[in-house]
Structure 1
Amino acid sequence: MNDPLEKNPWSALRQFTQARIALGRAGNSLPTAPLLAFNLSHAQARDAVHHPLDADVLHRQLQDAGFSTLDVHSAAPDRAHYLRRPDLGRRLSDESRDALTRLSLDPPEVVFVIGDGLSAFAASRQSLPLLQAVTKRMSDWRIGPVVVARQARVALGDEIGEILGAKLVVMLIGERPGLSSPDSLGIYLTYAPKVGTADSLRNCISNVRPEGLSYEAAAHKLHYLLTHARRLGLTGVGLKDDSDALLDAPQAQPSAIEGGDESSAREAATRLANLGASQPGIKGAPRRRQDVE
């Protein structure tokens, strides 16, 4: 009996990617196994959106790793409101705002916020390993407590950073899940955060997970951006990630950003911005992500 399964001649390439390629064919349809796998991935993506963040477990894991933590909630009272009213996820609840305002903390240079976003799986799985990877590079930084934010959108970090007096805020947030990535973490970096900050004033690193951008690679990019954002006093379209290019240069000369006066550094940043070249996985001006922001 002939095999009803028609295989693709390039199916060997599947070992290099999680993308749905070379699935084969059974008549005019997909074979049963790829179809079931698709249905499973679709269910996992839906679950990622609706699954609640276990904030207590995340706080405990962070504290066991040596991080001090704070807990906040957006103005969205529950998941249903969060999904239907993105604006509520961009501002703190009155209770959380009052709690942060009452804190007596020295203004940190940077504060990290972990938000559930559209994938609590991403926040719970990827945020701690990433934090450990980047903070080991930041011995000369004043780092504030890690803020765990529920029902959070990207812009919620602006209000948190403004209240705490942080020079920079880094939002680690669950991205909208895809059919092959239900637990992808996004990183949004903002200098001088305040309510109403435009999206063009942020930098974004996306798809942080073991199957995507590794923790070490993401930490390298984030530390590079943090270092130059602190020196230049900006993020967004004026700050580009050139870390990979610098590593590839055999005999790179010290740039104005790395050493020199601030005006030279700003001029160098402007030249970089005019080039308009971004490295894979990072954007100078993130595309409008209505599903997250």
Structure 2
Amino acid sequence: MRVNKYIAPFILSPIVAFSNSKGNFENVIFSTPIVPKNTTINHYSSESNKELPNLLLARKDYPTQIVRVGGNVEEFKLTCEEVNKEIDKIFINKINPDKFYYNTYIFCGFNPENHYAMNFSIHSYFDPLSNEAIDYLQQYLSEFNGHDLLGTKFYVENAKGLVAALTVNVGTKKYSNGPLILSRQDHSSFYFNNNYEMRRELISDIQARFYSNDPEQLLPFFDNWLFPHAGKFYHRILRDANYMDVQPETIFLMDDEPTLFVSNLKYYYSNDCTTNPNQHCL
């Protein structure tokens, strides 16, 4: 169940884009977190898995899993590569893309003089894709939750729910990599029980409707996710526009402090409407 709720959105900085056919993943653009100097970043994500929509099958309700763990590792005299291998053993290698939807960042700060790791942190959220994956996860947690990881306790937490804060931008670009001349920007927010539910409802609708220039397909997306009768309001704007994007910011609600967890992975869906026959969004 989704519940409309306002939370201010975050600003994204694009770094990577990839394209597939319209209605699937069309220009999903990622950003990367800003980190201190002498820090390595390992990123693991199933976001670009083209088969993901087919894997989102019906399953019982289950909370999104959160990992937000970090510690000092100077005493171990390990390189960041060796630290990452230890994390792989108890976490990364256990979360299979056939069983889970996941986004994970691993950060490792090192001493530039001797290249030994000084600290690490894991920021991750993941969801089992089936009831069988839930059973596997419960077995995994019974073995590894609370496990020692380089002097730090490795914990996986349940998220109570999440708020998806949306920003929709519509406007004109003179060329594909040029600045956006903004015609309209709107914000909305929705509550979901877990990230799995959000993907089945919101992200699936983005993929199904957002890249169409058929009014019967596209305008209901705006009605559904912005405000009542937004499609009618946007009709003229979309006819004049040649670019639009939607930015979903995911904010997880947690029992323990800090009670909000915001993933370091930011991404948004952009639609270059100049590829349409009329070179406009509608």
TM-score range, shorter chain: under 0.3
Looking at secondary structure, tell me which structure has more helix per residue. Answer: 1
The structure where strand makes up a greater share of residues is: 2
Task: Normalising by structure 1, report the TM-score.
Answer: 0.26
